[in-house]
Amino acid sequence: EDQVTQSPEALRLQEGESSSLNCSYTVSGLRGLFWYRQDPGKGPEFLFTLYSAGEEKEKERLKATLTKKESFLHITAPKPEDSATYLCAVHRGNKLVFGAGTILRVKS
């Protein structure tokens, strides 16, 4: 059965303190791994798609990487506005299977 596990469940950082979020997955034949950002009371906002091991994508302070078993979302010098829940998902058929998310809080 396809599974997506995110860690940690919650992460508190000081402004400027870089860190990484983890998304491990078990799925046969990965068709795409997606990262989303979700603010409270809002729908998930698409960030990145990764398709193959070794692929990397960047957007502002965020960088997503992919291996055969996991993906990392690296946050460099975060700011308070980066506070949100970060979700990862894998594509299976025409469905996305989501992890439970990591709640990130960045304090100034």
Partner 1 sequence: ETGVTQTPRHLVMGMTNKKSLKCEQHLGHNAMYWYKQSAKKPLELMFVYNFKEQTENNSVPSRFSPECPNSSHLFLHLHTLQPEDSALYLCASSTTGEGYEQYFGPGTRLTVT
Contact between 62 and partner 1 (CB under 8 A)? no
Contact between 10 and partner 1 (CB under 8 A)? no
99 in Cβ contact with 7 (< 8 Å): no
* 97-108 b/e (C-beta count within 10 Å ≥ 16 → b): bebebbbbebee
Residue reference for tokens 């596990």? 5
Stretch that binds partner 1, among 17-25, 38-46, 59-67, 72-80 (CB under 8 A): 38-46
Taking the C-alpha atoms of residue 32 and residue 89, their distance in angstroms, rounded to an integer, is 8
Among positions 25, 91, 104, 106, the unique one binding partner 1 when judged by CB under 8 A: 91
Among positions 12, 59, 95, 105, the unique one binding partner 1 when judged by CB under 8 A: 95
**Structure token pair of residue 76:** 């460099």
Stretch that binds partner 1, among 12-20, 63-71, 73-81, 87-95 (CB under 8 A): 87-95
